[in-house]
Structure 1
Amino acid sequence: MIKFYGYKRCSTSRSAQKWLEDHGVQFEFQDLVEQPPQKEELISWMKQYQDRGLRYFFNTHGMDYRKMQLKDKISEMSIDEAADLMSKNGKLIKRPLVVGSNKLTCGFNEQVYTETWL
C-alpha cells in the first residue's frame, strides 16, 4: 500500500486524495504537518530520486519556504540539511508526497498520477 503524506487544509492534497479514491488506489494517509516523515526516510527518498533535485521536494510556494529564504539556499544545501529542515517542518515539503515501493511523487498532476499510480 502507498503512503500519502498530505495536509487536510490543502486543496491540492484534497484533489490528489479524491483522484486516488476515484481510481480505486488504496493508500494510508499521514498528516504532513502534524507528523512529517522522519529525517532518515527523507534522506533515503532524496538519494533514490536525486535526479529530480532537492527543489522537487520543497513546497516552493509556501510561506515558511519564503520566510526562511530557502530559494537562495537550496543550491548549496546538502540532502542531510534539507531532510533535517523538512522533518522538523512538514510545511516545507511539497504536497502531497506520495510514496510506494520504488515510486514517489510530490505535488499533484493527473498525468503523472496516471503514469505512476495506476
Structure 2
Amino acid sequence: MIDVYGIKNCDTVKKARDWLDASGIAYRFHDFKQEGLDAQTAARWIGALGRDVVINKRGTTWRKLSPEQQDLADDAAAAALVSAQPSLVKRPVFDTGGALFVGFGDEQKQALAKT
C-alpha cells in the first residue's frame, strides 16, 4: 500500500488522490495539518531525495521564514524545520515502501501505476 503525504486542501494532492482512486490504487493518506510530520520521516526523505526536492522554497511558508531560519546548515536542520513546519514540504509525497516520489506529474503517475 502506498502512503500519500500532503494537505487535503492542496489542489495537487486532491488531483493525485482522485487519480489514485480512479486507478484503483490502494493508499493511506497522511494529512500534515492534522497529523504533523515527525523529524525521523523528514530526515529520511531529505536523505533519500535531497533538501531541494523536499522543501518548497517558492511557497509562502518559506517566504515567511526569517533569513536565519532559511539558512539550513545541514540535513538535520532541514529535517527539524520541515518537521516544525510541514507546509514547507512539496506535495504530495508518495512512499511506496521501496521508492519515494514528490509531486504529481506524468513521471509519478507512471511509477505509481507500476506499484
Which interval holds the TM-score relative to the shorter structure? Answer: 0.7 to 0.9
Query: TM-score w.r.t. structure 1 length?
Result: 0.82
Consecutive aligned runs of 4 or more in structure 1 exceeding 6 Å deviation: none
Shift of 1:29: 0.7
> 2-side partners of 1:12 and 1:48: how far apart?
22
Q: How many angstroms apart in 1 are the aligned matches of 2:102 and 2:73?
A: 19
Q: 1:94/1:79 Cα in 2 relative to 1: closer, same or farther (>3 Å)?
A: same
CA 1:63–1:84: 2 relative to 1, 3 Å: same
d(CA) in 1 for partners of 2:86 and 2:98? 22
Aligned equivalent of 1:56, options 53, 56, 59: 53
- The 5 A counterparts of 1:1-118 are 1-49=1-49, 53-68=50-65, 73=70, 76-118=72-114
Q: Secondary structure at the match of 1:102?
A: coil
Length-normalised TM-score, structure 2? 0.84
Partner Cα separation in structure 1 for residue 17 and residue 58 of structure 2: 20
CA positional deviation for 1:117: 4.3
Percent identity over the alignment is 27
Count of residues in Structure 1 that have an aligned counterpart in Structure 2: 113
Residues 36 and 86, structure 1, Cα contact 8 Å, conserved in 2: no
Q: 3-state SS of the aligned residue for 2:35?
A: coil
The Cα of 1:48 is off from its aligned counterpart by: 2.6
Structure 2: gaps spanning 5 or more residues? none
Q: Which whole-Å deviations, capped at 9, do the CAs of 1:8-53 have from their partners, x for residues lacking one?
A: 111011011111111111110111222232101111222233xxx3
Distance 2:113 2:36 in 1: 22
Gap regions ≥5 residues in structure 1:
none
Q: Please report the RMSD computed on the Cα atoms of aligned residues, expressed in angstroms.
A: 2.0
Of 86-95 and 57-66, deviating more is: 57-66
Which stretch of the first structure deviates more once superposed, 86-95 or 40-49? 40-49
